[in-house]
Structure 1
Amino acid sequence: MVEQLRRTVRPEPSPVQPPAAPKLFVFLLTHQFSMIAFAAALEPLRIANRLARGRLYAWRLVAETAEPARCSNGAAVSVDGPLDAAPRDATVLVCGGLEVQKAASKPVLTWLRRQARLGSRMGALCTGAHVLARAGLLEGRRCTIHWENRAAFAEEFEDVEITNRVYEIDGDRLTCAGGAAAADMMLALIGDEHGPDFARLVADQMIVGSMRGAAEEQRLSAPARLGTRHPRLVTIIKRMEAHIEEPVSPSDLAEGAGMSTRQLERLFRRYLNKSPKRYYMELRLQRARGLLLQTDMSVIAVALASGFTSSAHFSKCYRDQFGRTPYHERGAAEPEERA
């Protein structure tokens, strides 16, 4: 029995040989950066070094100033220094999070452009893709960003191909959706450099059940999010999500699903406890809220992008849903109050 077990147990991959010089990653910690995305990107590098019994990777933490960087959960992380030149073969990763608009300051954008000109591989975690795009470093490239920020990103950067995948590696541009997706991207990089067996060994140390590929989608499937696998309901909701700016009428939704309007109403009441009209309205208002908080678009532009043709109607619906007007959401005065 012991001999049989010895024959069936697969030996662990041999540790890789450390290079003469470790590969350097420079993490730019922006204001209100995401701790989970940062840790998920950094820890695979540390574990890889431990398993290799040497320095495969090195890292440096920088911020706009030498002060500790504050992440979105309130913790402060000490940095190695302010923005300075990194070696040509470094990989620069912009760690984004909340208030990404503030992160794209002139000094940060100038530094990123300089690093790109020097030949650094450029990447971003979570909303860091917004900062790279502001710097003009994603034009003509494929990238991804956290699903909550995808609509706002698409509105602002029309020349950048945005996807809903967990991560994207397009040449020397690396982006991931944040959260656990940062680990998926780093494991993919480790696998490319040191082989898939070694990457799986790193994943095992992280208690990662499976390594997601770049082609996998960020969000749970529609059935998982809705808690139902009713095929017609899932199809209708996907159509709603795809037509926020130009909403589809209930009758057209019903006809497209091969049912009557009354059947459509009963379907939503049974599985979601709300009418199709109410559900659709909430989808559009969630889109509007994201655009208000994450872009500089005017309120009327946000209204139009969310399927509202009247700013007054948009403001009323928004207030009914969130308890404040679109202007107050941004901390601005109502138009009539600014005269």
Structure 2
Amino acid sequence: MQAFSSAVEVLRVARKLGAEDLFSYSVVSLDNESVAASNWIEVLPNLDIDELPKGSIIVAVAGAGADRQPNPTMSGRLRRWAREGHPIWAISSGVVRLAQAGLVDDCTVAPHWEDVPYLKDNHPRVEVSTSLFVSDEKYPTCSGGGAAADLMLNFIARSGSRDLVDEIASLLMIDGVRDGRMKQALPAELRYTTSNKTVFAAMRLMEANSFDALPVQEIARRIGISQRQLERLFKTAFSKTPKAIYQELRLQEARQEVLAGRRSILDIALDYGFEPAVFSKVYRRVFGILPSKERSLSAQTMS
């Protein structure tokens, strides 16, 4: 429901601000009946599914359970719309519906991280990205949640309405528009592959203390082992020290803030425990680009 609402609200406010002709929208359902979201709120269609204007952008939306409940009728509709030349997008588990329809084989998609295991197991030809959204493919896709608003705002910006984007974000209390390259906030167990529960307990402590970093010795104490034992476990799991993994986690979070563009790079560096010069050096070594340059490129994609 959040993904649907986030996308629609951006379009609603765009129309409110005078862009009625550019960003009109309608809601349709397969059987022209209301659809109950997982929070039991019902969404009413306002257009017959067989009366879609020619060339309309189709945005497929689905929630939890799409992987367990294939919908042949939906798959058929999506394939038909694709043949008719409709641009087709997907948000949240709507990405699963596109995969089930066979539309995104050999394409890169941005599913919600909960849908990643299903897609990898059942649709191996689909290239999975952990980005918030992918908008430069034949079928733009979005991980869902609040990122649906970012997808729509980026779409409006590319339509030449950057000032309108700023107004919409202000009215919806959106503190900065995120770039599609920003990564989803994946749980540590999806970013780092290991079955060792002690290692994950340590990593959860690291994630919970990104700003005020804990000494490795304190992390070991809190999970009930010695620092030497912790070092050995991390070396076995990742061939890296706890300190190195901790720095990676903090640097990844810092990068999200760099791309968001809401705070100065100096403040971000200091908050995550880096001296500014060291931050730029480490950032370039890990991501291949200076933070200031990456922020500049991120801003250009919105202009």
Scaled by the length of structure 1, the TM-score of the pair is 0.57
Query: What is the alpha-carbon distance in structure 1 between the residues aligned to residue 12 and residue 27 of structure 2?
Result: 14
The answer for the alignment partner of 2:236 in structure 1 is 253
Runs of 5+ in structure 1 lacking a partner?
A: 1-34, 234-248, 260-339
Stretches of 4+ moved more than 6 A in 1?
Answer: none
The answer for the alignment partner of 2:45 in structure 1 is 79
Q: Secondary structure at 1:60's aligned position in 2? A: coil
CA contact (8 A) 2:96 2:115 kept: no
Greater CA radius of gyration, 1 or 2? 1
Aligned-residue offset at 1:184: 0.2
Percent identical among aligned pairs is 26
Q: Secondary structure at 2:26's aligned position in 1? A: strand
Aligned-residue offset at 1:125: 1.0
Q: Pick from 158, 163, 175 the counterpart of residue 209 of structure 1.
A: 175
Q: List aligned pairs for 1:1-339, cutoff 5 A.
A: 35-52=1-18, 54-81=20-47, 83-84=49-50, 86-101=52-67, 104-219=70-185, 226-229=207-210, 250=233, 252-253=235-236, 256-258=239-241
1:9-37 deviation line (CA, Å, top 9, x unaligned) = xxxxxxxxxxxxxxxxxxxxxxxxxx111
Query: What is the alpha-carbon distance in structure 1 between the residues aligned to residue 19 and residue 209 of structure 2?
Result: 48
CA contact (8 A) 2:27 2:45 kept: yes
Q: Give the strand-richer structure, 1 or 2.
A: 1
CA contact (8 A) 1:94 1:123 kept: yes
**Number of residue equivalences:** 213
1:289-324 deviation line (CA, Å, top 9, x unaligned) = xxxxxxxxxxxxxxxxxxxxxxxxxxxxxxxxxxxx
Which deviates further from its counterpart, 83-92 or 184-193? 83-92
- CA shift in 2, pair 1:154/1:68, >3 Å: same
Query: What is the alpha-carbon distance in structure 2 between the residues aligned to residue 192 and residue 219 of structure 1?
Result: 25
CA contact (8 A) 1:87 1:120 kept: no
Query: What is the alpha-carbon distance in structure 1 between the residues aligned to residue 238 and residue 174 of structure 2?
Result: 44
- What letter is aligned with 2:172? M
Which deviates further from its counterpart, 177-186 or 149-158? 149-158
Aligned-residue offset at 1:161: 0.9
Query: What is the alpha-carbon distance in structure 2 between the residues aligned to residue 163 and residue 221 of structure 1?
Result: 15
Query: What is the alpha-carbon distance in structure 2 between the residues aligned to residue 133 and residue 254 of structure 1?
Result: 33
1:92-125 deviation line (CA, Å, top 9, x unaligned) = 0111111113664121111110101111111111
CA contact (8 A) 2:3 2:146 kept: yes
Q: Secondary structure at 1:125's aligned position in 2? A: strand
1:134-172 deviation line (CA, Å, top 9, x unaligned) = 111111211111112212222211111111111111343
Q: Secondary structure at 1:73's aligned position in 2? A: coil
Query: What is the alpha-carbon distance in structure 2 between the residues aligned to residue 255 and residue 51 of structure 1?
Result: 51
- What letter is aligned with 2:3? A
- CA shift in 2, pair 1:53/1:141, >3 Å: closer
Aligned-residue offset at 1:84: 2.1
Aligned-residue offset at 1:78: 1.3
CA contact (8 A) 2:67 2:118 kept: no
Q: Secondary structure at 1:124's aligned position in 2? A: strand
Query: What is the alpha-carbon distance in structure 1 between the residues aligned to residue 74 and residue 238 of structure 2?
Result: 51
Q: Secondary structure at 2:73's aligned position in 1? A: helix
